[in-house]
Amino acid sequence: MSEKTINRNLVVVGAILIQLCLGAIYAWSVFTKKLTVPLDEGGDYGFSATQTAWVFSAGLATFAVFMVIAGRLQAKLGPRPIAVVGGIVLGIGYILGGFLGKTFIAQLVCIGFIGGAGIGLAYVVPIAVGVKWFPDKKGMIAGLAVAGFGFGATLWVKLAGSWFGGLLNTTNLFGLPGVQSVFVIYGIVFAALVLLGSIVMVNPPAGYKPAGWEPPAPTAGGAATGAIDLTSGEMLKTPQFYMLWLMFLGSALAGLMVIYCIRLFGVDALQASGAVEGEDAAKLAGEWAGTAMALYAILNGLGRIIWGTISDVIGRKTSLIAMCVAQSLIMFAFYYMGGSTIGLVVGACIIGFNFGGNFALFATATADYFGNKNVGTNYGWVFLAYGLAGIVGPQVAGYFKDAAKGGDVAAWFTPFVIAGVACAIAAVIGLALKPPKVKAAVE
């Protein structure tokens, strides 16, 4: 497709289609229940909570590392080829996870490392392309571009868990257990949809400007409008990079922790409080936790769009601080809210909404502070904070869960407090955030 004739709105459609598949990593918690059923109780895998957390963490960390690689490659080879490769690698990872994923190591390698690599390769492409086509609406377009990631989690959770009887419960593809059967199906679908979305992943022509829009001029105050372009090497020498990086680490930690453990926590909390009773208490608790998990994903997608749009109006810095403060407060309250069905759902929605904001705000803040030209490469470096958060958040939750005796719900208190403190620290860092001063570029 010619980059001169493309309608920029098609870029948004392609971006959402790609991100819809990449969001599969956030559906991981729908598999954890079956993966952690002990072998002596009829389980197929017998993984510990920590092991399932490691598969999730490996996927997130690999995702972040490969974003840096993808950013450099798409700058040299163009965005479309990198999106194509990402979709193929993601699909292969899940298909192999289906056929080979009987053991923890196999799932760690196939779903965690290979699948995570595919996500990382494809993820940066829609963001970088979208910001270049929509320099006039960076916050909104970044939110739309990554909204599919959040909505995708809902789609894959519901298809696996409950829609049409739930693929986990109804499929036995090639004689494989439900979890592995779903991996195979998802791998095929992911590859096909990402390849379709990649068709419109092309950069605008050189010097492109939307009709009626003029780029902001550099100012003596710095580069917070994206008017000054820094290379990754130049960016890494600024304190603003490390401030944004630490903020992303603290804010993402909370959301990733809840994504990993929301089903496990919800079942523990609802049963311990007596919010669900009777012989079917465990089943009812699981259903409520599944609802909370699905709504978390929906609000995650909405948060990306709404926080991004808000930031175009009130500014990126103000939005980042507000989001981190809100996330800190809800994390401190979530342990207590989880004891009621409504509290669990409402808390999950708020956390998901704020967590989604990370992906619109930090992507556009990277463009604002360091320029639009190299945002694909630069955001990969900022996004490494997310990879570390993907290890720390789930591992902290998994550690305290495994250390608890008899499934004590109190095990969840400490992880949520840690996440709340991390978000509060991120907000404090945001107060000190200022645009980088690039005097030579202004002159």
pLDDT digits (tens, 9 = 90+) for 77-114: 889 999 999 999 999 999 999 999 889 999 999 999 99
Q: Which residue has the higher pLDDT, 128 or 321?
A: 321
Q: Note the pLDDT tens digit of each residue in 391-406.
A: 888 888 877 877 766 5
Contact between residue 122 and residue 83 where contact means Cβ atoms under 8 Å apart: yes
CB under 8 Å to 345, separation ≥6 — which residues? 288, 291, 292, 295
Token pair of 425, please? Answer: 């620290």
When pLDDT is averaged across residues 55-69 and rounded to a whole number, the result is 86
Instruction: Report how far residue 23's alpha carbon sits from residue 380's, in angstroms, rounded to the nearest whole number.
Output: 17
Helix residue ranges per DSSP H, 207-339: 232-235, 239-273, 281-314, 316-337
Backbone angles phi, psi at 201, to 5 degrees: -85, 80
Domains of the chain: 8-205+219-442 (1.20.1250.20)
Model confidence band, residue 220 (pLDDT cutoffs 50, 70, 90)? very low
The structure's pTM equals 0.75
Q: What is the pLDDT of residue 289?
A: 86
Helix residue ranges per DSSP H, 24-48: 29-35
Contact between residue 290 and residue 157 where contact means Cβ atoms under 8 Å apart: yes
What single-letter amino acid sits at 70?
A: A
Residue 112 is given by DSSP the state I
Model confidence band, residue 325 (pLDDT cutoffs 50, 70, 90)? very high
Contact between residue 290 and residue 161 where contact means Cβ atoms under 8 Å apart: yes
Q: Note the pLDDT tens digit of each residue in 285-311.
A: 888 888 888 788 788 888 988 998 898
Instruction: Report how far residue 131's alpha carbon sits from residue 76's, in angstroms, rounded to the nearest whole number.
Output: 18
